[in-house]
Amino acid sequence: MQYPLSVISPLMAGAIFMLITLASALLFAEPLTLQKVGGIALIVSGIALLSQID
């Protein structure tokens, strides 16, 4: 299945920020603040909305 670049590019950009935040919390014991968790939730929501595009 192929997706248009206009969908994949924002997905990857959002995923990078999410993965870096989670990795830094797990690997370097950086605190996950409420603000960071809220940002991750918004990114995941955006990815979920974009994945609904046919």
pLDDT reported for residue 33 = 93
pLDDT reported for residue 28 = 96
Q: Are 5 and 38 spatial neighbours (Cβ–Cβ below 8 Å)?
A: no
pLDDT reported for residue 6 = 76
pLDDT reported for residue 53 = 66
- Name residues of the chain where pLDDT drops below 50: none
Whether this prediction's pTM lies above 0.85 is answered by: no
pLDDT reported for residue 38 = 94
- The tokens describing 37, both together, are 């968790």
Looking at the chain, which runs of residues are DSSP E strands? none
CA–CA distances in Å: residue 49 to residues 7, 9, 26: 11, 14, 27
